[in-house]
Chain A
Amino acid sequence: MSAVPLHLAVALDGAGWHPAAWRDPAASPKALFTAAYWAQLVAEAEHGLLDFVTIEDSLALQTTLLDGHDGRADQVRGRLDAVLVASTIAPLTSRIGLVPTATTTHTEPFHVASSIATLDYVSTGRAGWRAQISGRRTEAAHFGRREVPELRPENLGDLDKAGVVRELFADAADAVEVVRRLWDSWEDDAVIRDVATGRFVDRDRLHYVDFEGTSFTVKGPSIVPRPPQGQPLVTALAHSRLPYEFAARGADVVYITPHDSEQARAIVREVREISGQVRDPAAEELRIFADLVVLLDDDAKGARERRARLDEIDGATYTSDAAIFTGTPGELADLLLEWRAAGLQGFRLRPAVLPTDLTAITRGLVPELRGRGAFRRAYQAGTLRGHLHLPRPASRYAGSRR
């Protein structure tokens, strides 16, 4: 019996992560843009007592290219705004965390802070944010405010040398800092409703954040009072040193993409080392989750056949930044526990096909993990931070009077 249960999240996107998922007989491709579709998926994840779901998003159509529109009609194209999808699901669920994606590059940090704080109110303390960088020229052209070079495999090295990527991450770090300051800008007890003095708020408990970064400034305070969790969960996907640094500075959870337990061990070591250098020593320990695409079946052969069938439909072998697991829920449980020994706190599973592989997680994997003493039998906390054993932090401004 493992002492510490692991944490499980599910990454929701379209019909699932395999590009042919929408053509699976179990899929409901016509429903992808309805509230009912998303509500059913998240209800299923909550039924499995998962820690949270993430919802993918971007400010451009999906593409098979690194940058630019691929014009493919045979894969899912189009997405709803992830924060708003999360907010619609919130009143229909009660325990599971909701972590939509929002970009740090084009979306105003002030708007991100307000909308995630609002999601935290709508969900009574279950909001998170997957902070994502948008480096693509395709996305920039939808805003027309920045000149951005096209990303091509052959010029990535040059862009790296020119500092373009470093700048994007520095900008993202500023955005996260602004958002976190805004969440703290109202002290918890700012609303006083003091009839004697006629004051609704104590303005000494509202704080200008006065952020001054290299490329922008934000005044504050937030228009939204401090959210129920104080600081909603900040998460980021990271594949290399710069994003590890970004996550170590500002995130509560980082998703990494090892392809075996050895790699997992090496990445965990690197992330911990970086954290030691750049993370605020007073901050809670960064939670490290590994991402895995999962394709599950009751027998391993069946899973492999499903995968082959999907690849055949799509006309290409599916590859991913994350490892792709094909097998039974029991085998997956063993693998997760083996990888966990590398120092991971949890996993973010990307179901290849929805709802098939989600249901296999909640009704197959979860009982397997429980049988190994490695997963909760009931939610212990009412907030997302609570699920991850993160305390509710005091506002950084608490007690400081202007």
Chain B
Amino acid sequence: MKQVILAAHFPGVNNHTVWSDPASGSQIDFASFVHLARTAERGRFDFFFLADGQRLREQRGRIHDLDVVGRPDSLTVLSGLAAVTDHLGLAGTVNATFNEPYELARRLATLDHLSGGRAGWNVVTSSDAFTGENFRRGGFLEHSQRYERAEEFVRTVRELWDSWATGDLVADPATATFARREAGKFAHRGTHFDIGGHFTVPRSPQGRPLTIQAGDSEGGRAFAAATADAVFSRHSRLEEGKVFYRDVKSRLAAHGRSPDSLKILPGVTFALGDTDAEAQENADHIRRQQVSPQTAILLLEQLWNRDLSAYDPEGPLPEIDPDVSEDSIIKGRTRMSRDPLETAAEWRALAESKRLGIRDLIIEVTGRQSFIGSPSRVAEEINEFVQGDAADGFILVPHLTPGGLDDFVDRVVPLLQERGVLRAEYETTTLRGHLGLEEHR
């Protein structure tokens, strides 16, 4: 039986994270990160995961104010967590477009040292000029070049990690040798990076910290097959999950890689209850919290690509059609990829047949939880997904900070452990080890 890989996603800056609940805590105090990480470690999760965005989101030219805003620097907070956890992997999203290989390779290798081999890197590639405005180098990258740069970026980072061989750090006073003379030497001459010199961080415990990829285009999938250890995917429904899984895994052979060498991890949400019926009630309650009247209008605007602030959230959908021009009103996150006119027609039909106002419609058509049910049903479904090759495991995205994973760990984890698909105790010390991946010592 395949083991289920589990990761804990710190709640993000989108409407999925419920901030209006009395149980909702700080999105930025370190104590919140500690709580979630320790909960995940108690549940014997494989890793903790942080998303990233380098510019506050905007809609219609104004900072988006309806969702949680504000987050930490990923690798800095993960280094703090290294001190208060023992086994949990620590993976952070870091943008390959607005960083440099030398510096990022150092930071990741440092995290790997500080955590004793638990570092992971989710490589993202956004290239928008909007985000670029926060950086000295600006928005310099053509969208079409993002994976070209990302691929060379990852290759360069790995060359840097390999620049210290095992044994280059000697630290032997008797022979007066601290480090071998050639330690850290590198030269990379490529299209995007032309750099050379010496790297400052000795080989880290994993040698090669875990690399995760989270892009869904053809380019993203090709990149994952060529370079990644894991994919953070959006395909969280059983059938589409299987299709995605087959597609990405089938690309591995061409790179001389085994199917096991790349783990597919959809991001998923959940709602629990004592019974399936109670879980459904909880799920509905959470959905209403996630879609406030204001958020309903805002999500509608994202499809319509128009100012709809004059519409009543409890009223009917707009009669006017979506604006399909290129210019997007949303900045700092990807626009919905569906065909807006077609989707609007579907939504109108649904609203009419079920007699739904805007808010109820939005609740219905966006973001339903992936797993809803009693603990035993959720454990069952999770296991079915994995054994049925729709996933190798999941990145769980709780809706509450910091306690959103408590119930899952208390009630679902023991059932997965009973089934023998989740470790009862950690048996490995590194993140690569937890995932059963080849070590690069």
Contact = CB atoms under 8 A, between A and B. Distances in A.
- Answer whether A and B are interacting partners: yes
Interface of A: 22-23, 27, 29-30, 32-35, 39, 58-61, 69, 71, 73-81, 83-85, 87-92, 106-111, 114-115, 117-119, 121-122, 124, 138, 141-145, 186, 191, 193, 195, 197-203, 206, 215-221, 223-225
B202 interface: yes
A124 B169 CA distance: 35
B47 to A, nearest CB: 17
25 contacts: A33-B169, A58-B200, A61-B198, A74-B178, A78-B201, A80-B114, A106-B103, A108-B99, A108-B137, A110-B135, A121-B72, A122-B80, A142-B197, A145-B100, A186-B70, A198-B292, A198-B293, A198-B294, A203-B62, A215-B136, A218-B133, A218-B134, A219-B134, A220-B134, A223-B71
Interface in B43-76: 53-56, 62-63, 65-73, 75-76
A197 B309 CA distance: 13
Nearest to A92: B83
A176 to B, nearest CB: 14
Given A74-B178, A84-B107, A121-B28, A59 B79 contact: no
A74 to B, nearest CB: 5
A77 B201 CA distance: 9
Contacts of A218: 133-136
Interface in B171-201: 171-173, 176-181, 183-184, 193-198, 200-201
Contact of A91 (B62, B84, B172): B84
B135 A108 contact: yes
Interface in B198-245: 198, 200-202
A87 B66 contact: no
Q: Which of B56, B106, B134, B294 is the most central at the interface, judged by chain A CB atoms within 10 Å of its CB? A: B134
B76 A84 contact: yes
A79 B201 CA distance: 6
Contacts of A75: 178
Contacts of B69: 191, 200-201, 206
A58 B137 CA distance: 21
Contacts of B76: 83-84, 87, 114-115, 118-119, 122
Contacts of A29: 171-173, 178
Interface of B: 19-20, 28-30, 34, 53-56, 62-63, 65-73, 75-77, 79-80, 82-84, 98-100, 102-103, 106-107, 110-111, 113-116, 133-138, 164, 169-173, 176-181, 183-184, 193-198, 200-202, 292-295
B134 A110 contact: yes
A74 B177 contact: yes
A200 B67 contact: yes
A125 to B, nearest CB: 11
Contact of A23 (B99, B114, B135, B176): B176
B84 to A, nearest CB: 5
B166 to A, nearest CB: 13
Nearest to A100: B76
Contact of B171 (A22, A91, A122, A197): A22
B193 A206 contact: no
Nearest to A186: B70
B178 A114 contact: no
Contacts of A76: 178-179
B171 A89 contact: no
Contacts of A22: 171, 173, 178
A223 B54 contact: yes
B309 to A, nearest CB: 12
Contact of A106 (B100, B194, B200): B100
B72 A224 contact: yes
B20 A59 contact: no
Nearest to B17: A200
A197 B294 contact: yes
B229 to A, nearest CB: 21
A61 B100 contact: no
Contacts of A221: 56, 63
Nearest to A107: B103
Contacts of A195: 20, 292
B202 A33 contact: yes
A280 to B, nearest CB: 24
Contacts of B172: 29
A59 B103 contact: yes
B196 A77 contact: no
A94 B134 CA distance: 33
A79 B136 CA distance: 26
B110 A81 contact: yes
A14 B105 CA distance: 20
B102 A69 contact: no
B6 to A, nearest CB: 24
A30 B103 CA distance: 24
Contacts of A224: 28, 70-73
Q: Which of B29, B53, B293 is the most central at the interface, judged by chain A CB atoms within 10 Å of its CB? A: B29
A81 B106 contact: yes
Nearest to A178: B136
A143 B100 contact: yes
